[in-house]
Amino acid sequence: MATVTKELNLANSVFPGLNDKRGILICGYEWGFSLEDKHLYAEGKPAPFFDKDAETTFSNKTPAHGDRALAWRYDNRIHRWFELWGHPLNRECLGGPFEKCILQTN
């Protein structure tokens, strides 16, 4: 039997044992780009910085996207929700096991 592999539409890295089979899945209607990123994308211009091989968590996408990821409204809204629920997300490096349990798609 052949194995079918599909490219997953994920916004952050997969961490075996944490978000690969269990964890929190965040599914949004858009990626949460800033207005500037949205305009660049609409004009067909590449993002100022993108490293598709960088290891990232939902809480810290700067290794792949640079500091502009810190301004994304959608991500910041989710960060705020976690704070309100008493579980602020660590944006330092890759965070800890909790941050690595989160997986984002759309």
Does residue 8 fall inside a structural domain?
no
CA angle at residue 29 from 28 to 34, to 5 degrees? 90
Phi, psi angles (nearest 5°) of residue 64: -95, -30
- Which of 45 and 68 is assigned the larger pLDDT? 68
pLDDT of residue 4: 45
Mean pLDDT computed over every residue of the chain: 85
> How many domains does the chain fold into?
1
The parent domain of residue 79 ranges over: 24-105
pLDDT at res. 71: 86
Positive or negative: CA dihedral 3, 17, 70, 34: positive
pTM listed for this prediction? 0.77
Q: Which single residue is written with the structure tokens 């269990």?
A: 22
Q: Give dist(CA 100, CA 35) in Å, integer.
A: 27
16 domain-assigned: no
Residue 67, domain member (yes or no): yes
